[in-house]
Amino acid sequence: MRAPTWKWFIEYTHPTQAHMHGVRRFIYSGKTEYQVVEVIDTEFFGRCLVLDGKIQSAEYDEYIYHETLIQPAMVLHPKPEKVMVVGGGEGAVLREILRHPGVQRVVMVDIDREVVELCKKYLPGWHQGAFDDPRVEVLHMDARRYLEGTGEKFDVIFMDLTEPVDDGPSYLLFTREFYRTVSDRLSADGIITLQAGSFNPRLIECHAAICNTLATAFPVVRSYSSYIPSYDAVWGFALASAGYDPLLLSPAEVDRRIASRGITKLKYYDGETHIGMFAVPKDIRLAKESETRIIEDGCPLITY
């Protein structure tokens, strides 16, 4: 039997490494003021959002990424009412936050209006109407400027951004100075959670530097991870707070909190998964210990 002839999308994950995806159809390709945007339909992972040549999320596994980013902090906080999202253009972060009935207000700040509008149009399965929820306010501006100018306090702040490498457009939202601002804008028991780079021990510099930098502003900093199939990688996340520690939640307590809030449709996250997420392998722990860099306004993280 003759193999099908595909058009291929090639995603470079390192100067010497790449992933190839067979494409059924190219839906959209364009450039905004801030980044190159593509929406493609792949054979294996369904529809994908691609920014600057890298898959951000895929139809068949986006729930893993978004539940991993959102649910541990939302469950850890006993009463998350005011939430802020930095980035999150697909709207899936809003979807996950709004599962929690106690949420009263969500402020989403994404600088790229065009990406948000494209996601509303082409990725309805991600946001599922969350942009239209009356509790949600969407702003298109610089998130750092917003946080420096507002007096509002938030219970949880989520950062869903590209990595802070090579002096790119996001790095000023990962610095020591910025995390101090975030700390000031969190309530006394507030939590910050963010995607924090690959958990590959050969590429751990980014994740380790983010955790080191968070530790300059927060006494509790925890690494965690999930395998994201469309990334073909175990992906790192970081949670930081002034006191709440996810390592102190038992599987039974996680499941109890989820049930008490009437949340029934999670596909990935539960008490057993929580324990696995926060179990950091020995090689990653050792690699993190050997990395001492801290990201500062005048000193971005430069990797390969």
Q: Which residues are catalytic?
A: 160
Q: For the packed helices 176-185 and 205-214, what is the interaxial angle rounded to 10 degrees? A: 50
Residue 119 · residue 91 · CB < 8 Å: yes
CA distance 172 to 144: 8
What does the DSSP assignment read for 173-234? GSSHHHHHHHHHHEEEEEEEEEEEEE--GGGTHHHHHHHHHHTTT-SEEEEEEEEEGGGTEE
Residue keyed to tokens 């106690």: 102
* Amino acid code (one letter) for 193: T
Longest Cα separation, the chain: 65
CA distance 31 to 162: 16
Q: What Å distances lie between residue 226 and 8, 120, 135, 259, 302, CA to CA?
A: 26, 26, 29, 22, 25
Buried b (16+ CB within 10 A) or exposed e, 173-199: bbbbbbbeebbebbbeebbbbbbbbbb
> What is the Cα–Cα distance from 165 to 283, expressed in whole angstroms?
23
The whole-angstrom separation of Cα 57 and Cα 90 is 9
Q: Is 131 helix (H, G, I), strand (E, B) or coil?
A: helix
Tokens 């995603």 — which residue? Answer: 11
Rounded to a whole number of angstroms, the distance between the first and last alpha carbons of the chain is 42
